[in-house]
Structures are given as structure tokens and as C-alpha cells.
Amino acid sequence: MEKYLQPDDRFITCIFGEPVQIKAFNWSGYHFDADRSSDMEFVFIRAGIPGKKAGCS
């Protein structure tokens, strides 16, 4: 996965005791997305950057 990252991409690795615990992860605007996830892959998305207004760079 890491070899496909672009210079501005961030890759986060988290270790949890039980796989189900990771679904509760909610930090810096990231949250579990059940619609995009499967039993083998959990997807986390960030709708926006906390403290930053939409449309700003």
C-alpha cells in the first residue's frame, strides 16, 4: 500500500486488540464507513479537515 502513496498522502497504521474495536476509531475527522467496508477491509473516511472551512486550501 505505502508504495502507491503520493507525496501529499498520509498513511496511518493502527493496532487494536480486536478487529471490531477499530470500528469505533474516530480521530481528526476520520470515521468508519460501513458502506465502503467489507468483512476483510475496513474503510475510514474524513469528510473534512477539522477546523478548516469547506472550500479553503
Give the pLDDT confidence of 33-51 residue by residue, as tens digits: 999 999 888 899 987 766 6
SS3 category, 19: helix
pTM of the model: 0.55
Task: Tell me what pLDDT residue 16 has.
Answer: 66
Phi, psi (rounded to 5 degrees) for 36: -95, -5
Spans of all domains in the chain: 2-46
Give DSSP secondary structure letters for 24-48: G-EETTEEE-TTT--SS---EEESS
Average pLDDT, the chain: 80
> Can you tell me the distance from the alpha carbon of 31 to that of 22, in angstroms, rounded to the nearest whole number?
10
51-56 mean pLDDT: 59
